[in-house]
Amino acid sequence: MSASTDDPAVAGVFRRPFDEQLAFFRGKLGNLVPTERWDDIWKAAHDRAFMVAGAAKADLLADLASAVDGAIADGKGIDWFRAQFDAIVDRHGWSYRGPRNWRTRVIYTTNAATSYAAGRLAQLKQGGFALWVYRHSDSVLHPRPLHLAWDGLTLPADHPFWQTHYPPNGWGCRCSVVGANGPAGARLIGGDPDKPLDPTWLESGPNGEPAGVDRGWGYMPGATVADEVARAVAAKTIAWPYEMAKAYMSEVPERMRDALALAIRRLPGTAEAARRYAERALGVRNDAAIPGPVIVQQYQTLGLLTQAEARAIADMTGVEAVRSQIYDWTIDASTVRKVAKDHGDDAAQARSGQTGVTVEDYALLPRLIAEADRLEYGGTSGIGRPVVRLVKRFGDLEYWAAFEVRARRRMLALQTLWIRGRPPIRRP
């Protein structure tokens, strides 16, 4: 349901809810804060708390939070939210301040804008974009002059401007930020890398905020929790059984997939999941006192291929489906056992100048994929499937991982892993 056409000030605010946006908003719902005034909670404190000015009773605040959550999660319009609001007011006998349409619009748009901005911030950070571009989205008929002047402004991601001017920059502001990896990319999304930043952005206005920023809005929504939001979205993928995780990743919108892939690789939990998977595949129990076999799922995901990886692998292997479909990097239990047999004996590997592979080495696979020194074609496997090799040096050791392209399952599955070189001190 789209926003009501009788209130253009809020039209389209909830059009595209996404996982990071929901993760940010729902992260606040465990801290419902009763207040008297809108400024009882200030700036970044909003990242971890939900409030509605004047809502001082816990049950009233919980019902309002639930209504806002429903609007964000389902992309509901202002008419739907106002119906929920009216029912909540009647149920609790709440005497709120201000006209009904104005009050509902403030609650609706403020939570929409800040959760959207915080979710986008998590994506921008996880995507590693070098440049951020300010895009003006205020009313065409009544634009805020400075917001309009900032449209297309392209600055490095770490520029101090963003600390105080990352939108929204006021009540009802719908400006946004998009990311680019270079000047050419910035121009494609409406940026102007040559546009100068007017020095007046450093000056304080009469409200104590920089010119063009409303009181209380001179901060970066979501900055204090951006990493937590991205990790929250990625972590559940690693924690789930393989088939469920793959299905979830397949449903993620295309624009988010690279960010999700990179976030998964950076999670310490991904490295630990790979190590523990190898441990279980080799029959090692965390508690040796518990009898019985070790149960291990057939596959463990290490996350999606990025679009750049998919293009490169399709080009070198000729498997066009890699380019157009969703593939992930995986480990399977039989390969872990084969690697242990072929390359796991340290003494035998030493005779050829190599180091035996242990379960601890599987924890390095996410970094090997993300930071490979080179990606190359490795010919075909014994049953004729294309193979790609990733090579990465960690200290004195060079890790080689061969992944087989399994088109039917849409995965790149580890085929073998070996380590060239000997550590200066023998590993335990």
pLDDT digits (tens, 9 = 90+) for 53-107: 999 998 899 999 999 988 888 888 899 999 999 999 999 999 999 999 999 999 9
pTM summary value: 0.57
- Tell me if 262 sits within 8 A of 364, measured CB to CB: no
Residue 249: which pLDDT band, with cuts at 50, 70 and 90? confident
pLDDT of 138: 67
233 pLDDT more than 90:
no
Residue 128: which pLDDT band, with cuts at 50, 70 and 90? confident
How distant, in Å, are the alpha carbons of 97, 227, 416 from that of 305?
A: 51, 21, 19
Q: Which of 212, 35, 201, 219 is nearest to 118 (CA)?
A: 219
pLDDT tens digits, one per residue of 150-194: 999 999 999 999 999 999 999 989 899 999 989 999 999 999 999
Between 288 and 91, residue with greater pLDDT: 91
> Residue 67 and residue 81: Cα distance in Å, rounded?
7
Mean pLDDT of 102-118: 93
Between 257 and 92, residue with greater pLDDT: 92
Between 44 and 424, residue with greater pLDDT: 44
Mean pLDDT of 218-241: 80
How distant, in Å, are the alpha carbons of 98, 135, 265, 412 from that of 16?
A: 29, 17, 26, 31
Q: Which of 14-18, 159-163, 396-400 has the lowest mean pLDDT?
A: 14-18
Between 138 and 140, residue with greater pLDDT: 138
